[in-house]
Amino acid sequence: MTLELTTSIPAPRPAARWWRAGAGSLPEVRWAMAATALFAAGGLAQVAGAPAWLWWTLYLACYAAGGWEPGLAGLKALRDRTLDVDLLMVAAAIGAAAIGQVFDGALLIVIFATSGALEAVATKRTEDSVRSLLDLAPDQATRLGEGGEEEVVAAAGLRVGDVILVRPGERIGADGHVLAGASDVDQATITGESLPVDKQAGDEVFAGTVNGTGALRVRVTRPASETVIARIVAMVEQAGATKARTQLFIEKVEQRYSVVMVAATLALFVLPLLWGTPVQDSLLRAMTFMIVASPCAVVLATMPPLLAAIATAGRHGVLVKSAVVMEQLADVTRVAFDKTGTLTEGRPHLAQLRPLPVAGGEAADRLLALAAAAEQGSEHPLGRAIVAAARDRGVPLPAATGFTALPGRGVRARVDGHLVEIGSPVRVLEESAPADVRAVVAELEESGHSAVLMLLDGSPVAVLGLADRMRAGAAGAVARLTGLTGTAPVLLTGDNPRAAALVAGQAGIADVRAGLLPEDKVRAVRELQEGQARVALVGDGVNDAPALATADAGIAMGRAGADLTLDAADAVITRDELNAVPAVLALARRARRLVIANLAIAGTFIAVLVAWDLFGELPLPLGVAGHEGSTVIVGLNGLRLLRDAAWRRAAAAPATKARAAGP
């Protein structure tokens, strides 16, 4: 007898994972955290009355931790004969320390280090999500030989012309066409359709989609590198690499401002020396100029309103990922919506039950009870919707026996002594079916419903119409967005035109583009942009990710959104409330108005103080007081958006008023 000792390695704690593989693994994040901690320690030591050497040491350590990277980046840019705001901020911070304002310089360093860390985190999350998207496609597939023998092979090694077997419940290993078999396939990840699609010989299927209850034989038509799912990955990566980064106002003018400020500072130091001014007086004047002309107030004029708007939006269910995104939202002139899971709830509901004349007077509730009883054993979304409708109406369900799922056709069961069959009209109806039955089916399908036929003992007795249900407030959100942007939204969906038209009509959208694959959505967004529109796209599925990355502002529905979609988006509606979309756009426009007001205040202070220093004798304490005073004023003005009243005002503002506040 032998005793085997096994030891289990505990899974790493969330904090450890965060440091090893999460945001904590990024050097930008670690240096920013170190700089912030040193700044906080220095501030506490200064307030507590500690010796000056102690808090000076802590502040200077903050300079080193948070400033070495932007300083190095600025020097590299200088080597390429360009000046950027990173080097300017480091120089201003050093200048502040040189005249005793070390706290101000350390604060500036912390702001810049934190900004760089947030940008690095956003980049890492997007890259990780793009890699995880490839997991949708299975690693292996069952290839069939010429004699029908089965061989498990790597999906990446499949070649055009190979035949694979896809069993019930498996993910399809390659793009191809069905050779034999019938099943329903959930391809929401590719097309965004809310319902599984019936597949039979000759139909196209996509890698990464989920097979239903039937077995399929599929001939491969594309290599792994050219599948639709692989093209989605490539499009997201390309959009992330080529999409121009919208910059904050101060960054747009940083080159010219940096050159002018550096040249003026050097001139104020060197020229007086030529006229015999003592070095100390000349240096003091130059440092005073650097302090009063440094863009600290301009940076704070821009950031507090945007950050306050981000915080307020976050408290009300909208995660805006950066200040740059808030600026992009303020510029939106056209909104595009996905359908399934965005304008709608993303799952079917029983909308109509139409008894047929041959039902023999059976009541609708009785027919629903029989249908739901037969569907209780089904895993198909339509079947679950029928059962849910019966339970919502309080209809008691009799027992069912002999349940059978018929791949690609429907279900069959015996209920209360009757044989109940429910399935696709195309598969169940024969050519000799009554004209009135075909008319009801055609009417429901033309109106955008999925029609399901119910047979009782072999005779058609009812047609059930199922459809995805609109989200609460969708029509109101569309109307407000129309007034806010001055242009009606557009619907971009991979679903069929009839289902798209049904939802668009309920939401009040006239411009409908249906049957779109992911690359088609990207093309549609670019067409809108070529028409001079600043496009915000609202979506939730993997198939929306490339278009979200391409749009000027991508907004994802958070609860059911795929990981890649959430990371490709610029903002996330965490509560899936569509009314939050016009509210956050209105809030972004108000934040921009405050930014403009703050820039005017900061610019006025800088102009007055600089003119005083150049043409008069500006005392250093007064220059510092004026500089800090302008910083406090613009900071407090921007923080007004932290109040809950700011969100209520944005959510309730009339559309015409919101439009007037736009660009």
Pairing of strands 571-573, 553-557: parallel
Burial of 438 (0-12, 13-18, 19+ CB in 10 A): middle
Calpha distance 162→175 (Å, rounded):
11
Separation of first and last alpha carbons in the chain: 82
For residue 16, the tally of other CB atoms under 10 A from its CB is 12
Q: Where are the beta strands (DSSP E) in 312-407?
A: 318-320, 334-337, 344-355, 400-406
Cβ(465)–Cβ(354) under 8 Å? Answer: yes
Pairing of strands 553-557, 535-539: parallel
The one-letter code for the residue type at 144 is L
- DSSP for 202-227 reads T-EE-TT-EE-SS-EEEEE-S-GGGS
The sign one gets for the Cα dihedral 427, 362, 450, 340 is negative
Cβ(460)–Cβ(453) under 8 Å? Answer: yes
For residue 234, the tally of other CB atoms under 10 A from its CB is 14
Going by C-alpha positions, the residue among 217, 225, 209 that lies closest to residue 170 is 209
Contacts for 301 with CB less than 8 Å, ≥ 6 apart: 595, 598, 599, 601, 602, 634, 638
Calpha distance 440→264 (Å, rounded):
81
Burial of 219 (0-12, 13-18, 19+ CB in 10 A): middle
Which residue in the list 198, 338, 552, 570 is annotated as catalytic?
Answer: 338
What's the token pair of residue 37? Answer: 């901690």
What's the token pair of residue 523? Answer: 């093309």
User: SS3 for 381?
Assistant: helix
What's the token pair of residue 401? Answer: 């026996």
From residue 372, give the alpha-carbon distance in Å to each of 35, 184, 353, 366, 399. 63, 20, 12, 10, 10
Cβ(204)–Cβ(176) under 8 Å? Answer: yes
Which residues on adjacent β-strands are paired with residue 163?
Answer: 144, 219
What's the token pair of residue 429? Answer: 């109806």
- DSSP for 552-602 reads SEEEEETTT--HHHHHHSSEEETT--TTHHHHHHHHHHHHHHHHHHHHHHH
From residue 663, give the alpha-carbon distance in Å to each of 481, 483, 536, 538, 592. 15, 14, 15, 21, 10
H/E run at residue 498: helix 497-507
**Is 186 labeled as catalytic in the residue annotation?**
no
The CA radius of gyration of the chain, in Å to the nearest whole number, is 32
For residue 177, the tally of other CB atoms under 10 A from its CB is 15
Helix boundaries (H) for 348-432? 364-375, 381-392, 425-428
Contacts for 380 with CB less than 8 Å, ≥ 6 apart: 184, 196, 212, 213, 411
What's the token pair of residue 425? Answer: 């009209």
Residues with catalytic annotation?
338
